[in-house]
Structure 1
Amino acid sequence: MRHLLRMEEVTTDEIFYLMEKAKRMEDVFEPFQKPKIIANLFYEPSTRTKLSFEVAEKRLGYHVLDFDAAHSSVRKGESLYDTVKTIESLGADAVVIRHRQNAYYNELLQGVDLPIINGGDGTGEHPTQCLLDLFTIYEEFRTFKGINVVIAGDVLHSRVARSNAHTLSRLGAQVQIACPNVWDDPTLPYERVAIDDSVERCDVLMLLRVQHERHEYTTQSSDYLETYGLTIERERRMRERSIILHPAPVNRGIEIHDSLVECERSRIFKQMSNGVLVRMAVLDTLLSKGERNDDVTNQRRSLV
């Protein structure tokens, strides 16, 4: 691996390798002798992703450069490219970027030598969220083949939906989509299902946040929950071993009934803790220049 930008560029072997490595990160890690420097450039608001990267970086013993776009030369018109080149010139070893522009990284690849980790690009992709979702599902079922995953909600504006749908399908899962017509994405070639039918058949219900900031169409919270969200009645009809995922932040009472956010089958907060492990695995892999020699530990323990 040189960068982490789009899930389709991550091989199946690399996916399983990163999940195996994330599992090892849970138990044993050692700071490098010479700490690396990681710059986090977040041009959009973030809580989980930003803090998760910071925790992962600090656990690995890295020094963290926390970039604040609102108080930077971005306000003077500095381009993303020049900002990243500045970070590179200052001696950073890698950069994590979240940006409102889809595929922002294309303008960086030719002139920037740093490893780039995509922390979310517009409505494009969110690779580390996808990887932590995969890790959470794999820990639960020990396989992807034959697992029925329903992605439900604001699909059109969700980078999480795109990264997950294509990757899960590639790994052998059956992917279905349940969403309002106005928030559907016709480029995703998966079966459309009604939420009421799908809850009884799915192994994984992956709820998406309603991204009010990305569209003009609005709906009453109660209307959305009853029509498209996970109500108490729908949760009761789910399979015994089915789990609930959500990338968060959760709009309680909109995508999911408030009482279900921390119910027994919810893995929402488990996803967050898994995010630190996965991001540790990604960072260590990229900063060891793609070599599969574990600097973190000599212990190898399979996920299975």
Structure 2
Amino acid sequence: MSGGALAALDIGGTKIAAALVDRSGTVLRRGRVPTPAGGGDAVLAAAAELLDGLGLAGSDVRGLGVGAPGVIDPDTGRVVSATDVLPGWAGTPVRETLTALTGLPVTVVNDVRAMAYGEARAGAGAGHHRVLHVSVGTGVGGALTTGGDLDHGAHGTAGELAHLLVPERGPVPCGCGRRDHLEAAASGPAIAATGDAPRAGALLGRALAGLLAVLDPDAVVIGGGVAQIGAPYLDAVAAAFRDEALPPLRATPIVPARLGTDAPLVGAALLAGTLLAGSPPV
């Protein structure tokens, strides 16, 4: 299916972002609102209202792509499991509800996988064959792409790194409740609690050194809100990685996401467009 714009949603623990995106991945319009309390129904109602505010009604929008927290059933678009980063989210029928609210065909994928797809297709991952994408914001997430397509793994968690064990107790709980996981020590809330972005970056770099020994990607792309801190954070990630990584891995590029915080929106939209065109799911 050619022509027409695509709508996109990026649902997170603190904010919902929406955009209208063209078929090349260019964001035409965008908006955002705080994520409401009240569980899945309240979140999706706010998301649909946000889309309406972008002029969805009466526009030539062909489909909606959604990046959502948690493990998503690719066949039903339902949230199979989720942490308390977004309370009451587990079990939410995202595709079914948003189809009813918007009248559009809806594609739902994990939010970090949406980011990864955007960066692999139109951002910093383009041109690399196998890429580990890392998102650091309210939580810590990861995803793999190979040849520009998502690699979900056997259980939909390929590339996930929030629950990697770290040698320091985090100042906030991981979404699963533990404090010895990477998310507890290196997420945005952890940095806000300590005021020490370089320390958090170093912990992520050390974790990547071990993870890359297993995955051996061509590049690592780091996105999410925390990556917007820039050099103080990203330089700490890279330095700790080089210190700890196996010698053959030390030259692996670690680069910031080119699309910034638009990456999940672009990825969700492009994925929706791919599926509307009749390509097999990635």
State the TM-score, normalizing by the size of structure 2.
0.46
* Bigger radius of gyration among the two: 1
State the TM-score, normalizing by the size of structure 1.
0.43
Q: Which has a greater percent of strand?
A: 2
